[in-house]
Amino acid sequence: MLLTDRVRSSGAILANTSRGMRRARFTIAHELGHFLMEWHEFSGKTGFTCSARNLRETREGRRELKQEAQANQFAIGLLAPFHMIDPLLSGDPDLRDGQRLRDSLDLSLEACVRRMIERRSEPLAAIWSKDGVVRYAIRNRGFPFVTLSARDRLPQTSQAFRAASNHKQGFTEFAEAHPMAWTNTSDLSLFEQTRLTANGHAVTLLWADAADDSDVDEDLLPELGAPSFR
């Protein structure tokens, strides 16, 4: 949380370190964004209290969601500017780049995969899951709509499902996937790669090659972009 007054004359940031210092660093940068963007309205009587969900927020439909998205944009822009991540990206998308960014920038793998997807020009999406059950998904502008929601099971035809079922830890290589297993679009080539940990947490990277531009969602809001100011 951020404790401050209405005019931001001073403030204090409290970060939970029980989930590690990488998470705490992002939390501190997120709350610093709330402090510096003085048009942000308090979520409580004495400042801002932000949940784990807030630290993933990218929607801008309501004021409080927009504020959380802006604080996240500020945090990732501060901790992972493009000039620092570009030298660590491979020629083609690869989840191993996310791990390389994590180790170099001292951020969580989730934050680094999100930043990688936002930076690359290829149509990409990522799905985070636990024990074969979806937690959440993101996509960049070029990727079609992902049909899975939180608490859905991973598609049984997917490489991600097989990796979770077989407890195959580590990285898989990209393999062709059926597009309708993940999206609402059939007219594209789709490839998937998964990283699975010992505790059942996984992230799956989807890479689409659309047949034409009709699948691009022009109204999709950018994920964790560079921080924007008034």
pLDDT tens per residue across all 230 residues of the chain: 889 888 888 899 999 899 889 989 999 999 999 999 888 887 766 667 776 665 666 665 577 788 888 999 999 999 999 999 999 999 999 999 999 999 999 999 999 999 999 999 999 999 999 999 999 999 998 999 999 999 999 999 999 999 999 998 999 999 999 999 999 999 999 999 999 999 999 999 999 986 554 444 544 444 444 433 33
Predicted local distance difference test score (pLDDT) of residue 125: 98
Going from N- to C-terminal start, the domains of the chain cover 2-79, 123-215
Q: Which helix (H) or strand (E) holds 45?
A: none
Which tokens belong to 67? 């504020």
Cα(116)–Cα(213) distance, integer angstroms: 22
Q: What is the pLDDT of residue 12?
A: 94
DSSP helix/strand/coil, 115? helix
Class of domain 123-215: alpha beta
**How many Å separate Cα 227 from the centre of its chain?**
15
Query: What is the spatial order of strands in the sheet that 11-13 belongs to?
Result: 11-13, 2-4, 47-48
Q: How far apart are the first and last CA of the chain?
A: 24
Instruction: Write down the pLDDT at residue 100.
Output: 96
CA 30 to chain centroid? 14
Identify the pLDDT of residue 174. Answer: 97
Please report the beta strands in the chain, taking only residues with DSSP state E, as ranges in sequence order: 2-4, 11-13, 47-48, 124-130, 133-139, 170-171, 175-177, 188-196, 201-210
228: helix, coil or strand?
coil
The secondary structure of residue 183, as a DSSP letter, is B
Please identify which residue in the block is written with the tokens 């993101």: 138
Query: Please, which residues have CB within 8 angstroms of residue 120's CB and are 6 or more apart in sequence?
Result: 89, 93, 140
CB atoms within 10 A of CB 164: 23
